[in-house]
Amino acid sequence: MLAGHFGLAAAVKAKVPEVPLWALMLSTQLIDVIFVPLYVSDIETVVKTGVGYGNQVIHAEYSHSLLSVLILAVLTGLLARKFWGKRGGFTVGAVVFSHWLLDLLVHRPDLPILPGNLGNLPLLGLGLWRSSTFSMTAELLLIAAGSFMYLRYAVSGTSGSTRLLARRSGVILAVLMLLCLASDVLNIG
């Protein structure tokens, strides 16, 4: 779902231009950025359940718990507010939290409510990954919508060579997101 998260960030950029695209891209992936050192340290794990797209159970009891993500979204939003104002701060916080919401749709039940799955509460996840067709379609729709909205935003109010550069950057962004999706599908990422 890496590319789908980026698609959402591109769409948000079209609606909240005061926040830089890099900040939205980082925000949408922030909990995965936190996951990486925890994964390398064997604190969090990934278990393959087969071959192909979405065939994994992610044990990310700290980085992907609902409470951890809510706290991270609030803290990130407060920090972003200092740079991009109240609306920008709210947007960045919401984009951080959007990662968890999108994961809730695709993950099998492996998302804890509390860090470390404290209290052994039920794990959450609606399991869209169980159907490669549906999950890839959803991700492609996010990529297409985000790319379209970003491209429309990027070329509005520009002319001449600036418009050409904006179009090219929008196309490059879409291609990069599709490459991320291909990496997921081919299991090479």
Give the model confidence (pLDDT) of 48-107 as tens digits. 776 666 677 788 999 999 999 999 999 999 999 999 999 999 999 999 999 999 999 988
Domain count, the chain: 1
pLDDT exceeds cutoff 80 at 166: no
The parent domain of residue 180 ranges over 2-186
pLDDT exceeds cutoff 70 at 187: no
Read off the pLDDT band of 172 (50, 70, 90). low
Question: Number of helices (H) and strands (E), helices first, in the chain?
Answer: 5, 2
What pLDDT, on the 0 to 100 scale, is given for residue 142?
81
Q: Give 161's strand partners.
A: none
CB 103 within 8 Å of CB 127: no
What pLDDT, on the 0 to 100 scale, is given for residue 68?
97
